[in-house]
Amino acid sequence: MKKILCLSVCFLSVQAFALDHNCIPHIEQLEREFKNCTVEYGDNASTADMNNASYNAAECAVNIAHKLFDTYYASTADDTKKQFDALVRQIYSYSHNLVQESDYAREHHIGTIHNQMAEELIKELTKSYLVELKSECEDATDYKPPRRR
């Protein structure tokens, strides 16, 4: 039993060490994927096409964030995803309210494309995680523990 425990600890230690020193290429790969989270629709797109394109770009960003959480927030991934998803829902609610619920907007039936604002905010939120984690990885790569005497 002690051997299994010792091997498990050694394996996890090696895995953690490898993760710390190989995280930058992984985050850069996620950054490239993130750049593909774009809004695309044709010249004659309907309002529904524009809304769907914004939803798709936002969903792409959420998926990137979930990948980050699974890898770099492993011990709290489920809770972090729940909090992030709740924030995404609030962003949609906020952008809907801002654009569609003013007295003027309600009276004149305007503001049906609120998803573009939400998509931009969600992408900015995901980008902040990418930037923070890349900074942490760079710090971990540069970190040299003090020598013991």
Token output for 12: 């996890």
- Residue 139: the pLDDT is 87
Q: What is the DSSP string of 26-93?
A: HHHHHHHHHHT------TT--HHHHHHHHHHHHHHHHHHHHHHHHHHSGGGHHHHHHHHHHHHHHHHH
Q: Distance (Å, rounded) from C-alpha 29 to C-alpha 134?
A: 11
CA atoms within 13 A on the CB side of 86: 6
Position 21 scores a pLDDT of 55
CA nearest neighbour of 141 among 133, 30, 131 = 133
| CA atoms of 142 and 147, how far apart (whole Å) | 15
pLDDT, tens only, 70-124: 999 999 999 999 999 999 999 999 998 888 888 888 888 776 677 888 999 999 9
pLDDT at 104: 86
pLDDT of residue 74: 94
